[in-house]
Amino acid sequence: MATIAPSLLSANFTKMGDEVKEIESIGARVLHIDIMDGHFVPNLTFGYSMVKALRPISGMIFDVHLMITHPLDYIESFAEAGSDIITVHTECDDDLDKCVQLIHSCGAKSGLSIKPNTPPETLFPYLGRLEQILVMTVEPGFGGQSMISECLDKIPVIKAECAKFGLSIPVMIDGGVNISNVRTAAKAGADMMVAGSAVFGAKDRAAAFRELTEGSVISD
Ligand code: DX5
Ligand code: ZN
């Protein structure tokens, strides 16, 4: 069974606190928070003050996805704001070793993400220092896109490399997860799946969250 992490990007921005409380009440343990700088991706979302504002009202794991060109400038602020996991992109302009080191020195867990056109091997030099891997299954920037299912093929490649070194790093996928592809994604090896529109956009969010979670069970 995979962990479904609802993405705040698809929440109702007029009532963020209530949205977060609701998503926690239906059983979500991880909240995915998308940070965009209008440069790394052609969209803007929110800053660390949103993380800070939401922190006192939630016990969920705050999984912060930095889609920004210069994460080094902001890692400390996001950590201080209460991020539990901070993920940066291999395609950013900053030194990845420094990013991972800084995230750890701030007391957070470190993730690295790859965009759809980035080969999984790009992650290999960092595997021993990561607590999470984020495989994008859409081009980052917007919620509500269709999954690029070929991206799932990267998961077994990453897992095989981890296994060589006795590592067991959770692999999360992000983008286009819904009830019709959740099982395929689980079979490909996704341990965690971000779900924005599939949860927040559902009429019955509790049912959608439960169905996605149950849909990720692979019995064979
Ligand atoms: C896209 C973001 C995703 C987004 C996913 O750049 O990284 O986290 O919220 O939304 P859905 O699940 O609607 O594709
Ligand atoms: Zn994301």
Q: In the chain, what percentage of residues exceed pLDDT 90? A: 99
What average pLDDT does the segment 156-160 reach? 98
How far out from the chain centre does Cα 165 lie? 24
Q: Is residue 202 part of a domain?
A: yes
Q: Could you tell me the CATH number of the domain that includes residue 35? A: 3.20.20.70
CB atoms within 10 A of CB 187: 13
Domain that holds residue 94: 3-215
215 lines ligand 1 (CB under 6 A): no
- Asked if residue 114 belongs to a domain, the reply is yes
Side by side, the strands of the sheet bearing 132-136 are: 3-6, 192-195, 171-174, 132-136, 109-114, 85-89, 61-67, 30-36
Q: Kindly report, residue by residue over 175-184, the tens digit of the pLDDT.
A: 999 999 999 9
Judge whether 22 lies within some domain: yes
| Chain segment 29-85, per-residue pLDDT in tens | 999 999 999 999 999 999 999 999 999 999 999 999 999 999 999 999 999 999 999
Assess if residue 88 is contained within a domain.
Answer: yes
Cα(181) to centroid(ligand 1), Å = 15
In terms of DSSP bridges, do strands 61-67 and 85-89 run parallel, antiparallel, or are they unpaired? Answer: parallel
Q: Give the pLDDT score at 220.
A: 64
Nearest residue (CA) to ligand 1, atom 4: 143
Q: Which atom of ligand 1 is nearest to the CA of 145?
A: 14
How far is ligand 1, taken at its centre, from the CA of residue 10, in Å? 8
pTM over the 0.75 mark: yes
Query: Which structure tokens are listed for 41?
Result: 């991706």
Catalytic residue positions? 34, 174
- CB distance 130 to ligand 1 below 6 Å: no
Is residue 117 one of the residues assigned to a domain? yes
User: Please, which pLDDT band fits residue 219 given cuts at 50, 70 and 90?
Assistant: confident
* Total domain count, the chain: 1
Task: Locate the DSSP E strands across the chain.
Answer: 3-6, 30-36, 61-67, 85-89, 109-114, 132-136, 171-174, 192-195
Mean pLDDT of the chain: 98
The CA distance from 127 to 124, in Å, is: 5
Distance of alpha carbon 11 from alpha carbon 46, whole angstroms = 12
Query: Does 220 fall in a domain?
Result: no
Give tens-digit pLDDT for 98-122: 999 999 999 999 999 999 999 999 9
Q: How far is the CA of 92 from the centre of ligand 2 (A)?
A: 15
